[in-house]
Amino acid sequence: MQRQSYTCGLDAAIDVMGGKWKGLILFWLGEGPPRFGELRRTVTGISERMLTLQLRELEASGLVHREVHHQVPPKVEYSLTEFGHSLIEVLGPLGQWGEENMERLEASREARGPAGVSGSAAP
């Protein structure tokens, strides 16, 4: 099944970095080229399997470069490509907005409760 064309630039951007983890992974890769274990410890809460899947998708999108150093023990480093750095430049303002509104967003999330919806359930 063929994917339909993007409807706008935002659709394309969300497609390439959507989901819970990709933005965080890209942010931390922008801080320097970590090894897999360092990245896993830095991105709190991500499983090894999920980190592997997300890195593969980011690599396939051309945002991340994976470099294998043939040594003992094996060493693999991840870094942003030039294309990846271009995305990091626009993530900065988004992160700043999140910092400025974190308390409000957390309060809103708490008010929604575990079901993710505020108010009582419809009969």
pLDDT digits (tens, 9 = 90+) for 72-108: 888 889 999 999 999 999 988 988 999 999 999 999 9
Mean of all residue pLDDT scores within the chain: 88
My answer on whether omega of the bond before 73 falls inside 30° of 0, hence cis, is: yes
Q: Does residue 123 have a pLDDT over 50?
A: no
How many distinct structural domains can be found in the chain?
A: 1
Cα within 13 Å of Cα(47), Cβ side: 3
Asked whether residue 116 is assigned to any structural domain, the reply reads no
**Cα(67)–Cα(29) distance, integer angstroms:** 13
Q: Is residue 104 part of a domain?
A: no
Residue 114 belongs to some domain of the structure = no
Who wins on pLDDT, 117 or 64? 64
Q: Please tell me the pTM assigned to this model.
A: 0.79
- Give the number of other CB atoms < 10 A from CB of residue 119: 8
* Rounded Cα gap, residues 67 and 77, in angstroms: 5
**Residue 116: other Cβ atoms inside 10 A:** 7
